[in-house]
Amino acid sequence: MLTEVTATRYVTPLREGGSLPGLVEADDLLPYVMKFTGAGQGRKTLVAEVICGQLARRLGFRVPELVALDLDPVIGLGEPDPEVQGLLKGSGGTNLGMRFLPRALGFDPLAYAVDPVQAGRVVWFDALVNNVDRSWRNPNMLVRDGGLWLIDHGASMIWHHNWRGAAAWATKPYDATDHALARFEPDVAAAAAELAPRVTEELIAEAAADVPDVWLADEPGFDTPDAVRRAYVETLLERATGIHERIELPKAAPRATARTSGWIMYEGAGR
């Protein structure tokens, strides 16, 4: 289960996010990036955030802490922006919170180099969950103190929009040609050797157990939230086996290689 906190103050919208996430303060006095159940993308985006975020953390990636963030829509009444007010009013109850990382910069593949092993791990993980939202246009990674953090897994696991076709996704390829880390010669074979054996039924089930029941209730074709959780586990487990052989990387010569991760220093910089 995720830790449960309650939003006490809406601070500001994060306008760079397509779903209009908001920065809020909660009753534990900590700042969170809040993703709303009432956003156009719907609650499945939040389910994907939890399963993928919790799984990634268990595999050793840095992911800001996720919490179940309770919202009293009354908070929205004083909000001057009608779009924000509508979002708050339509999102009463359990929403998703991600610990806000202060001092973090958005990852930029031209400014920050990633070594092939780390790049391979991220690309392999994104292939597993079929994350289509980690491109060089929209990297959805943050850098703080030299470490790479993964955020925003809402556009993963597309198969949960049509469960009847989910089984076919076990063998579908992953197009990584536009991936933000494609230019760093990602070593996906090494990543698969390390990570695939760790993606067990138990590990995925632990991540799925963290999804609040209310986001899984009334899913067509399933009797209980646990039945939906099992469907996530089965699809991801199947996909883990051979996904690295189906990752499509750019054919052209790689544009950048890096032995170690870190900021790229440009000639003349700092003078």
Ligand X SMILES: Nc1ncnc2c1ncn2[C@@H]1O[C@H](COP(=O)(O)OP(=O)(O)OP(=O)(O)O)[C@@H](O)[C@H]1O
Positions that interact with ligand X (CB under 6 A): 14, 16-19, 21, 33, 64, 98-101, 104, 106, 133, 138, 140, 142, 151-152, 154
Task: Indicate the residue among 85 and 138 with the shorter CB distance to Mg ion.
Answer: 138
| Interface with Mg ion (CB under 5 A), residue from 118, 140, 235, 261 | 140
Task: Indicate the residue among 49 and 219 with the shorter CB distance to Mg ion.
Answer: 49
Q: Are 267 and 246 in contact (CB under 8 A)?
A: no
Task: Indicate the residue among 131 and 140 with the shorter CB distance to Mg ion.
Answer: 140
In whole angstroms, the minimum distance from the beta carbon of 177 to ligand X comes to 19
- Residue 118 belongs to what H/E stretch? helix 116-129
In whole angstroms, the minimum distance from the beta carbon of 2 to ligand X comes to 15
Structure letter (DSSP) for residue 135: B
Task: Indicate the residue among 18 and 93 with the shorter CB distance to Mg ion.
Answer: 18
Q: Which does 96 bind (CB under 5 to 8 A by kind): ligand X, Mg ion, none?
A: none
How many residues make contact with Mg ion (CB under 5 A)? 2
Task: Indicate the residue among 156 and 235 with the shorter CB distance to ligand X.
Answer: 156
Task: Indicate the residue among 107 and 184 with the shorter CB distance to Mg ion.
Answer: 107
Closest Cα to residue 42, out of 59, 60, 25, 19?
A: 19
Q: Which does 14 bind (CB under 5 to 8 A by kind): Mg ion, ligand X, none?
A: ligand X
Q: Are 192 and 123 in contact (CB under 8 A)?
A: no
Task: Report the relative pairing of strands 174-175 and 141-144 from DSSP bridges.
Answer: unpaired
Closest Cα to residue 122, out of 64, 199, 185, 191?
A: 191
Give CA 241 to chain center in angstroms. Answer: 21
**152 near Mg ion, judged by CB under 5 A:** yes
In whole angstroms, the minimum distance from the beta carbon of 101 to Mg ion comes to 14
In whole angstroms, the minimum distance from the beta carbon of 80 to ligand X comes to 21
Select the span of 31-39, 119-127, 135-143, 190-198 touching Mg ion (CB under 5 A). Answer: 135-143
- Partners of residue 97 on adjacent β-strands: 34, 67
Give CA 226 to chain center in angstroms. Answer: 22
How buried is 1 (Cβ within 10 angstroms: 0-12 exposed, 13-18 middle, 19+ buried)? exposed
What CA–CA distance (Å, rounded) separates 259 from 271?
Answer: 25
Binding site for Mg ion (CB under 5 A): 140, 152
